Amino acid sequence: MEYNIEQIEGIITFKNQNTTLGFVRFNEEAEIEYIYVQNAYRRQGLGKKLLNLVKETTGKEVTPQDPISPLGHQLFKSIRN
């Protein structure tokens, strides 16, 4: 899958020619405020890639902000294993 990575302060976005595939919003402490991947692109590792980019950008371990959805719990659990 081909996509471009766009980054502005606190937001990383994956886009292809037609649409936004997913994005993550985070703060300086690597707390994830919001993460989203379009349904058609889920289960392909994009969420993990977004979180890894946050870790690389901030130099810190990523953590979720409360409240966190059930899908969010699964994602964070999967990156810690």
What is the pLDDT at residue 50?
96
How confident is residue 72, by pLDDT bands cut at 50, 70 and 90? Answer: confident
Going 51 to 37 to 11 to 6, the CA torsion angle's sign is: positive
Rounded to whole angstroms, the Cα distance separating 10 from 79 reads 20
How confident is residue 80, by pLDDT bands cut at 50, 70 and 90? Answer: low
Is the pLDDT at 48 greater than 70? The verdict is: yes
Q: Determine how many CB atoms are found less than 10 A away from the CB of residue 25.
A: 16
For residue 50, give Cα distances in angstroms to 24, 80.
6, 14
- Of the candidates 39, 31, 19, 77, the one whose C-alpha atom is nearest the C-alpha of residue 55 is 31
Structural domains counted in the chain:
1
Give residue 51's domain range: 4-80
Q: Please state at what angle helix 46-58 crosses helix 70-80, rounded to 10 degrees.
A: 70
Q: For 55-70, what is the mean pLDDT?
A: 87
pTM value is 0.84
Domain CATH code at residue 70: 3.40.630.30
Is the pLDDT at 55 greater than 90? The verdict is: yes
